[in-house]
Structure 1
Amino acid sequence: MTDPVTEDREQGQTFMPKFDAAGLLTAVAVDSADGSVLMLAHMDAEALAKTQETGFAHFHSRSRGRLWMKGESSGHVLQVQAILVDCDQDAIVLQCVPAGPACHTLAPSCFYRRLEGGKLIRI
């Protein structure tokens, strides 16, 4: 038998994000127009709240150890249209309208290479 908290988290309507030991959720940003994967990042409670409050994707930078808004210096923001939550609430998908390239390399997506025969091939 499933405990009531797990039942509510997996089947209910209560938003109960399940952060990992470091206090993070995995967040995948996709283009709301075509579903293509734009980037993968992590969110802490502050980033999640700021994203919901502003409608723009915010993340927790593990390398900088702080909150950052995607595009805060480049202007290539991600306007969030919807937030999808996975079954056990430890990962989310942000359906976004990108204002420019999502990747810091200026590629449209951070996933611009395919692994083929041990080598990375630009898509």
Structure 2
Amino acid sequence: MSISFADPTAMTHQQLEEGAAFAPRFDAAGLVTVVTIEAGTNDVLMLAHMNAQALALTLETGVAHYWSRSRAKLWKKGETSGETQQVVELRTDCDQDAIVLVVNQTGRGAACHTGRKSCFYRRVALADGAAVLQDTGLPRLFDPANVYGAKP
């Protein structure tokens, strides 16, 4: 199966925002931002990006695929760690330039390469006029050194 997407530049504003055609608006780098949340809890697990290939693979397989900007390659979530994401629902925003991916997180339940459930395990606070990070106490569900080697 080969999935294709409608061309957003060929659509009116009304068609893009109210129509039934899925026309993701990829940025200049060919990417769309994806917020991944856990089905049932609605916890935000991670923020990532997809190119057209990752988006098509995600839809075709029901398993989350992303584009790794740091490694410049396609990335099947959980391929190394076993922490795959089974897609429950894929949503797009009104102008189709962002995606919310609702998933069942498999494995030990860790979406983050640090071994935590969520990549959002720190909060920003002010201390003596400076912005600092504070750990929220989200525990590690696996040791990244054991899964990825010395450096994830």
2:13 and 2:25 mapped to 1: Cα distance? 11
The alignment partner of 2:12 has SS state of: helix
Unaligned runs of 5+ in 2: 1-9, 137-152
Give the structure-1-normalised TM-score. 0.95
Following TM superposition, where does structure 1 have runs of at least 4 consecutive aligned residues deviating by more than 2 angstroms?
Answer: none
Percent of counterpart pairs with the same letter?
Answer: 52
The alignment yields a C-alpha RMSD, in angstroms, of 1.2
Tell whether 2:70 aligns with 1:57: no
Partner of 2:25 in structure 1?
A: 18
The alignment partner of 1:63 has SS state of: coil
The alignment partner of 1:9 has SS state of: helix
Tell whether 2:121 aligns with 1:108: no
Return the structure number with greater strand share: 1
CA deviation after TM superposition for structure 1 residue 85, in Å = 0.6
The alignment partner of 1:102 has SS state of: coil
Matching residue within 86, 108, 111 for 2:93: 86
Count the aligned residue pairs: 121
Unaligned runs of 5+ in 1: none
Partner of 1:37 in structure 2?
A: 44
Give the structure-2-normalised TM-score. 0.77
Bigger CA radius of gyration: 2
CA deviation after TM superposition for structure 1 residue 4, in Å = 5.3
